[in-house]
Amino acid sequence: MTAASTTTGSQDAWTVGRLLQWTSGWLRERGSDSPRLDAEVLLAWVLQCSRIDLYTRFDEVVEDEPRAAFRELVKRRGRGEPVAYLTGSKEFFSLAFRVTSDVLVPRPETESLVVRALDLCRSRTAPRIADVGTGSGAIAVALAKHLPQAEVTAIDISPAAVAIARENVETHGLAERVHVCEGDLLQSLPAGETFDLIVSNPPYIREDEFAGLPRDVRDFEPRGALVAGPRGVEPLERLVAMTAERLRPDGWLLVEIGPPAASEEVLAAAVHLQAERTLPDDAGIPRVIQARRRRATSAD
């Protein structure tokens, strides 16, 4: 990226508008699926303003120092590094979260899981929720923010992810109601601890699918949070088995998935759960499998 390093006169000065136009084209040529948005987010971060403010500053000349910082970020984005890792921040459910390469970038499609969880919990008094594989803590924080009486346990196997989640919980003032802990699924929780709702966005990519992922995902996001195993449902199978002891009567399990068939089969095989219809995301893609804990009977 060399064009942004020189100017030849006032008409060629690197204004906000010209930087955005040139950078959008440069990123598009390098495969970005949202080049204009990427350029705006990075320039707003460098100039310490909001994206909307850029539109009132189109004719403002960007000085050498911030332009150099912007140029370096754009180069990294051109190599595929996610914008969220470059700025250290990502919005999810209208909340800002700190993210690093130790956690997945929160995605809009995961908001479908949060919406369904809120619907299920609004009629419950002081619901207890477990967020399994919390990563940045985005799901746990979003639920706690919108359910003031809820108590949330957020769990991740990665110590680095646990640290990021705790930071986000504290930033949003939720440390008294969102408890972050390290563990493999639900194994590390005290015996007898149960929940009204268990939510999870577990790894669900098959090993043979990993090489075909977009490079910004494959080369930069944590592999352990993406790849489930040869069949893509190994973590889900383990989690579903654990819910037999962890879900309260009429409690719910919500899990984000990839292709639905194999995941739905896992739910259907669980005798302690009543599978419900799979929910689509805003794009109409099957995204969230759900099941309710069956009440115990004399035959159980």
Q: Are residues 225 and 147 in the same domain?
A: yes
Closest CA to 252 of 294, 204, 286, 191: 294
Q: Which CATH number belongs to the domain containing residue 58 in this structure?
A: 1.10.8
Q: Is 24 left (phi over 0), alpha (psi -120 to 50) or beta?
A: alpha
Two structure tokens written together for 268? 């259907």
Query: Which stretches of 194-246 are assigned E, i.e. beta strand?
Result: 195-200, 205-206, 227-229
Which structural domain, as residue segments, surrounds residue 63?
Answer: 3-79
Looking at residue 156, its amino acid is: D
Residue 84: the pLDDT is: 97
Residue 12: the pLDDT is: 77
- Inside any domain, residue 58: yes
97 DSSP β-pair partners = 90
- Inside any domain, residue 118: yes
- Inside any domain, residue 85: no
pTM of the model: 0.91
Distance CA 47, CA 65 (A): 10
Q: List pLDDT tens digits, range 245-296.
A: 999 999 999 999 988 899 999 999 999 999 999 999 988 999 999 999 987 6
Number of compact structural domains in the chain: 2
Distance CA 285, CA 264 (A): 14
Two structure tokens written together for 260? 């639905």
Two structure tokens written together for 100? 């690093």
Instruction: Give, in degrees to the nearest 5, the angle at Cα 84 between 166 and 133.
Output: 40
Q: Are residues 109 and 53 in the same domain?
A: no
Closest CA to 200 of 147, 246, 253: 253
Distance CA 260, CA 262 (A): 6
Distance CA 111, CA 75 (A): 30
Distance CA 100, CA 82 (A): 10
Q: List pLDDT tens digits, range 7-42.
A: 344 557 999 999 999 999 999 999 999 999 999 999
Looking at residue 102, its amino acid is: D
Q: Are residues 152 and 29 in the same domain?
A: no
> Which residues of the chain fall short of a pLDDT of 70?
1-11, 296-300
Q: Are residues 39 and 8 in the same domain?
A: yes
Residue 258: the pLDDT is: 85
- For residues 202 and 177, the answer to whether their CB atoms sit within 8 Å is no
Residue 11: the pLDDT is: 59
Residue 296: the pLDDT is: 67
Q: Are residues 225 and 281 in the same domain?
A: yes
- For residues 89 and 103, the answer to whether their CB atoms sit within 8 Å is no
Q: Are residues 111 and 225 in the same domain?
A: yes
207 DSSP β-pair partners = none
Question: Using N-to-C axis directions, what is the helix angle for 138-146 and 159-171, rounded to 10°?
Answer: 30
Count of other CB atoms within 10 angstroms of residue 9: 6
Q: Which CATH number belongs to the domain containing residue 126 in this structure?
A: 3.40.50.150
130 DSSP β-pair partners = 153, 198
What residues have CB less than 8 Å from 36, skipping those under 6 apart? 20, 24
Q: Are residues 41 and 133 in the same domain?
A: no
- DSSP label of 61: B
- Inside any domain, residue 224: yes
Q: Are residues 50 and 148 in the same domain?
A: no
